[in-house]
Structure 1
Amino acid sequence: MVGSRPYPADQVELSFIRTLHGGVQYVLAKSTNNVELINLIQAHLSTSAEQFKRGDFSVAELMHGFIMPGLAQLKLAKPDDIKFEYRALENGGKIHYSSDYPQFVSALHEWLEARAREHSNTDIPDHKLQHLTNSD
């Protein structure tokens, strides 16, 4: 990893799930009692989603490097070409990434798959089932 996370990596589970129109990133605290960690996760994901909406991928570049697969294409998107929807969860949060444009869907898939490889993607029960329909 190039940069540092705002939370301890050994205390979270990361999951990157590919969907028809993009994907979903989950960051969950391993301990549901760790309120401070959950707050850090939620603040980081909320801020990241807002930055991505503005086309600002500087934090992603700092954490993952400038040559991360898919990132150059994502940076070409205009506002509203890609949706970045953050949602707080009881034990962390998630960002749902989606686009109606094939070039950005492909870039999201590349980007999320690279992140999954980098972070050793955790299989979180029931989360994949929520994203296997065409309604994504």
Structure 2
Amino acid sequence: MIGTAASLWAHADDMPADTTRQDMVHQMGHEVMPFSLDKTSHIFTTNDTGGVQKVLAQSSEDKEQVALIQNHLLYESVQFQQGNFADPTRLHGEDMPGLKTMEEGSTRIRIQYERLPAGAQITYSSDDPKLVEAIHDWFKAQLDDHGADAKPQ
């Protein structure tokens, strides 16, 4: 949403040699996400039909972060409903597990946005087992890439 079209991997040469993939995602997250990764948490919950992605401000009193989260996840949910997964691609790379399958099957994925008191969530669901598996793979890849900034539930 915000930032240039360059992926995080275009910046890899600018990072110290001991920088991990998780460090790179954290450092470059601001190019895709307008909220602070230091002040928020990503929570991924898988279920039988897909899963729920939540982003919450660490303090529900942090109205700026809450508004940034809500606006961003609303924007992303609209993009995802249209089959546009460009932002995750920019941050995590084109070969992110599950992403290509989700793009190709986007018309068979139900995507529902919901505001929460401390942020927002997007629920992804499908009747297609292949797409449910892709959502699960995508969530796992995000958990791996975001490291301490994300957690399963």
Task: Give the TM-score range, shorter chain.
Answer: 0.7 to 0.9
**Using the alignment, how far apart are the partners of 1:6 and 1:67 within structure 2?**
23
What SS does the corresponding residue of 1:13 show, helix, strand or coil? strand
Select the residue among 146, 150, 153 that pairs with 1:119: 146
Is 2:87 aligned against 1:59?
yes
**Using the alignment, how far apart are the partners of 1:122 and 1:113 within structure 2?**
10
Aligned twin of 1:30: 58
What SS does the corresponding residue of 2:38 show, helix, strand or coil? helix
Identity of aligned residues (%): 36
Deviations 1:38-92 (A, max 9, x none): 000000101101100000011111121111100111111152x001101000000
**Using the alignment, how far apart are the partners of 2:56 and 2:106 within structure 1?**
30
Select the residue among 92, 99, 114 that pairs with 2:119: 92
Unaligned runs of 5+ in 1: 129-136
Aligned twin of 1:133: none
8 Å CA contact 2:80, 2:106 repeated in 1: no
**Letter of the 2:47 counterpart:** T
Is 2:132 aligned against 1:105?
yes
What SS does the corresponding residue of 2:34 show, helix, strand or coil? coil
Select the residue among 90, 99, 105 that pairs with 1:71: 99
CA RMSD of aligned residues (A): 1.4
Unaligned runs of 5+ in 2: 1-24
Select the residue among 39, 42, 47 that pairs with 1:11: 39
What SS does the corresponding residue of 1:9 show, helix, strand or coil? coil
Tell me: CA distance 1:67–1:88, structure 2 relative to 1, closer, same or farther (3 Å): same
Structure-1-length-normalised TM-score: 0.85
**Letter of the 1:56 counterpart:** N
**Using the alignment, how far apart are the partners of 1:100 and 1:50 within structure 2?**
20
**Using the alignment, how far apart are the partners of 1:122 and 1:41 within structure 2?**
17
Structure-2-length-normalised TM-score: 0.76
Answer 1 or 2: which has greater helix percent: 2
**Letter of the 1:98 counterpart:** S
Select the residue among 53, 58, 72 that pairs with 1:44: 72
**Using the alignment, how far apart are the partners of 2:81 and 2:100 within structure 1?**
15
